[in-house]
Amino acid sequence: MASSIKGFSKWTKEEKLQWLAKTYFSESEEVIQLIKTYWNSDEDLQKLHDEFIENTLTNFYLPFGVAPNFLINGQSYTLPMVIEESSVVAAAAKAAKFWSERGGFTAEVLNTEKIGQVHFTYKGNAEKLERFIDAIQDQFYSDTEALTQNMRKRGGGILKIELRNKTQLLENYYQLHVTFDTKDSMGANFINSCLEQIASTLKLAVLQYEPFTAEEKELEVVMSILSNYVPNCVVRASVSCAVADLASAEITNPQEFVDKFVQAVRIAEVEPFRAVTHNKGIMNGVDALVLATGNDFRAVEAGVHAYASKEGTYSSLSHAKVENGIFTFWVDLPLALGTVGGLTSLHPMVKVALKLLGNPNAETLMQIVAVAGLAQNFGALKSLTTTGIQQGHMKMHLKNILNQFEATDDERKNAILHFEKNIVSHSAVVELLESLRK
């Protein structure tokens, strides 16, 4: 184990790399060379990547692929997707093609509110605190004017500041629950800056409020931070068609397919163990597009899964029904996304991804991302309720297994031909390679 070191962040990249390789790897020179092969030959581009985070050593590549044939609100899209899972892009593209022939996807933004909170403790009369917050409301807005000026010009800003009494959950705990609209930016830095100013205003105003006792003036701000839970920043994506129109090469009995499909969704609505995997499938599409467009997929994941638990039990994010012979499948997702600021204006491939999508505003991107999630979910459920998930997934995974065993071009051709009629498994591929190599 390495001993503690000081000043690591101030070392050069070469010094960090040398220390890491020699401290943790017996084959240090090979590791150094491997890491350096992922450096970009364009020094300016590499410098840009190096400065995204601290202590950068190299680049970690993920595939950047595209899924064509997405018809969304009557407009055609090709979606950029960044992901390592072999079958995701293929499933998305297949679902997109399927629905492009049946009217496409519909999407709408239901709301765009985002939340930030100033958490504080207060020992005193709750009604007196309420009167105090009411009295300084205007000051909160005036003290943040410089921060919100540009956002207000775009139609956003602070929408509401309300006091919430949480003392039934935690002794002396209150919060200022602040609602924002950040328009085309994700708005994390904007929200946090506003919250810190609101907290500063609160602390100063408390000391000057004469009705407060000495103890009440000891109000203490614990922290000021945005929330990644955005239940009022929601987009809905859906598909719908007559049951009979679902007929295809794989769906020979549309009514039987729909019955199983709807039942599969209902199982995910009531069974958390299934719901987690069900929703993970939705997030395959969501995360891939969120990553490609330079947004924060960890924030999206956290908010989405909290939303899936909003009724007290973890449940499916998507829903399905059949009414009067019409099949409808939809998903509601809380998505706080941006198309300006952060990596959207820095990462060259993010710029490519956004341009590919027609340089959408935040609301349009929300709709596209929700559609990607719904398409992914439809593809997975369609496979599960017809051929089974492994057939397609393992055939896509075949290339990875062949790469793992360094298969030659001839071995690849033989393997692909063989597994057109045989079930793919890791052991089956190994067995085939061993027989070919004899």
Provide the annotated active-site residues.
85, 280, 296, 393
What is the 8-class DSSP label of residue 178?
Answer: E
Residues in the chain: 438
C-beta neighbour count of 335 within 10 angstroms: 27
CA 83 – CA 94 distance, rounded (Å): 17
Which single residue is written with the structure tokens 């000051």? 139
Question: What is the C-alpha separation between 381 and 402, in angstroms, rounded?
Answer: 28
CB-based contacts of 20, cutoff 8 Å, min separation 6: 57
Dist CA 247 CA 235 (whole Å): 29
Nearest Cα neighbor of 352 from 80, 46, 107 is 80
DSSP letter string over 113-177?
-EEEEEEEE--S-HHHHHHHHHHTHHHHHHHTHHHHHHHHHTT-EEEEEEEEE-TTTSTTEEEEE
Considering only CA atoms, which of 385, 427, 388 is closest in space to residue 405? Answer: 427
Name the nearest CA neighbour of 396 among 109, 85, 130, 83: 85
Q: Are residues 347 and 294 in contact, defined by beta-carbon separation less than 8 angstroms?
A: yes
β-pair partners for 162? 177
Give me the phi and psi of 64, to 5 degrees please: -110, 105
SS3 category, 323: strand
